[in-house]
Structure 1
């Protein structure tokens, strides 16, 4: 028996949507997805992209990021977060994390903004690890005080809520989603940016297709280019597949919570294992992150040998060669992120896991934990 870290499921609706595309049905799957997504999130505008990284990159374009600008982000994020900043020859600034949520530490963020007031400081990108959110009311207040834009990286927060409102509708300038995020690879790629800001979405739409504009009264092949953009377009096939996933997302979260409950009850009190300390009713458990107090990597290897794949979210950015050398970062510059990195391990959690699958994972964890001294 083997339990993969992630697994996609194709339902009847998925096959129906994809067949519509292949059969040439007159359905604009991308437009339908954007409308359905905006409605699901509860936001004015949604714009589909070919990948989650493209969503982040387009967000930076929409904010008119320029060379020498600064964008603040958590040191615990996927490399695509600072990567999109560097593509503009702008500078990412890393902030340490909270120990319980693995999210950006708002105290440290505010201290940095207070000590580094500058017109070059353009935005803060906040990653919601496992769908957990920071204190968003405080975050938006900080952004207003220091006049910075907020971009939320919701790659693991589709359907997650804050005070009953879905992430993407709570007050960020732009929120970016990824339908095939780190280690949870799908058979399709896709991303989405959402906003309530008309100026931002207008600029994003312009740059979404090479900065091309067309006159509706002119011939189809006549166009003009008025800015430098790129091609961020999502394919009809990918959109069709994602539409079916979106329709099931709330059910997916419900099942993930059921699985997390089994994990909590089975693993609580197991030697060398610490279950997640955040147990909010709004926690979607898109990831189930435990702490291993000794030899995390060897624990993961033994789990793999027993048939259970695990993940890591994430390697702190200051430990990666490019950022370490580019900004002369030291290993101990971000002590909380460093300490958590040495312990955290993400267990399999996805809607198609059966209770038997979850029990199998728990049994293997307990078996390995007993060998630890």
Structure 2
């Protein structure tokens, strides 16, 4: 049996929407997606982008990030997070993680902000690992105290909730989504920038199309450029496909939670394996992350030999050559992230995974675990 890390799903609705575009029957898919997405999330504004990294980069533009500014983020994030900061010649500042959730440690974040108050400190980017969140009420309170903007990286948190409210509607200045995130590649790319701030959205819309301004009463080919922007636009075909998928997201999360429960029940007590905490009923399990206490990479290779692909979320940023050398970072600077990195392993989990595939994965993990001393 071959089980990929992720398998996209395409049904009748996706085919119908895409066919409408190809037949020139509905060329307003992007606008419809933005409207429907804002309604689904419960936010005032949504702006579609070409991919999730575009949404993050546009967020930095919308916040008017400049050279020498500082943006705080978790050391456990995908490289696109500090990358969009560096593109402005601004400085990412890394914070260690919580051991159990792999998210940014709010105690360390607050301590850093207390000790480093500066007008150059513009924002905090918070990545929701596996779709689960930090204490967002506390996060927003910290942001108000120290006057920093909060940008949520929700690449794995589409449809996830915090105290009953969907991520993107809970109080962040900007939330960025990715419809084809790291290791879970879809057949199309796409991202979304969400905000309740009309000034942020107005600036984001302007800059998302080369900062081109037009007079509504003038000829369509007459335009002006009023700032430095870029092209972050999503195509109509991508929007058509994604529109259909959004309607299924809540059901997808329910299925992921069901699969996660199956994993945890089957693997609980397995030697060398620690399963995730199942007490958070709102955890969407966009990722199912276990800990392997004996040579994680060897364990992953053994699973690969059995036809089971796995993932890693993520290699801590301070271990990557560019950031390690640029900021003279030491391997032990972020001990919690380092320890987690040496043990964590993401198992395949997606809505169209069959029960027999879950059972197969669990059986193989148990067999392999018995060979480890």
Same fold? TM cut 0.5: yes
Aligned to 1:91: 91
| Residue of structure 2 equivalent to 1:163 | 163
SS in 2 for 1:133: coil
Per-residue CA deviation, residues 267-309 of structure 1 (Å, 9 max, x unaligned), is 0000000000253110100000000001000100000000100
Q: Which runs of 5+ in 1 are unaligned?
A: none
Match of 1:335 in 2: 335
Query: Match for residue 230 of structure 1?
Result: 230
Q: Where does structure 2 lack aligned partners over 5 or more consecutive residues?
A: none
Distance 2:122 2:109 in 1: 14
Specify the alignment match of 2:73 in structure 1: 73
1:78-157 pair list within 5 angstroms: 78-157=78-157
Counterpart Cα distance in 2 of 1:283 and 1:335: 25
Aligned residues: 373
Q: Distance in 1 between matches of 2:201 and 2:186?
A: 27
Q: How does 1:314-329 map to 2 (within 5 A)?
A: 314-329=314-329
1:237 to partner: Cα distance: 0.5
Moved more, 312-321 or 279-288: 279-288
> Following the alignment from structure 2 to structure 1, what is the Cα–Cα distance between the partners of residues 82 and 51?
16
- Aligned partners of 2:248 and 2:26: how far apart in 1? 24
The aligned runs of 1:161-310 (5 Å cut-off) are 161-310=161-310
Residue matched to 1:372: 372
Q: Match for residue 36 of structure 1? A: 36
- Separation in 2, partners of 1:340, 1:26: 47
Contact 2:276-2:289 within 8 A present in 1 as well: yes
- How far off is 1:174 after superposition? 0.1
Aligned-pair CA distance for 1:4: 0.3
Q: Normalising by the residue count of structure 2, what TM-score does the alignment of the two structures yield?
A: 0.99
In structure 2, the partner of 1:11 is 11
Measure, in 2, the Cα distance between the counterparts of 1:99 and 1:253. 24
| RMSD of aligned residue pairs (Cα, Å) | 0.5
**Using the alignment, how far apart are the partners of 1:279 and 1:345 within structure 2?**
20
Runs of 4+ in 1 over 2 A off after TM superposition: none
2:21 is aligned to: 21
CA distance in 2, matches of 1:87, 1:97: 25
Deviation per CA, 1:232-284, whole angstroms, max 9, x where unpaired?
A: 00000000111111010001001001100100110000000000025311010
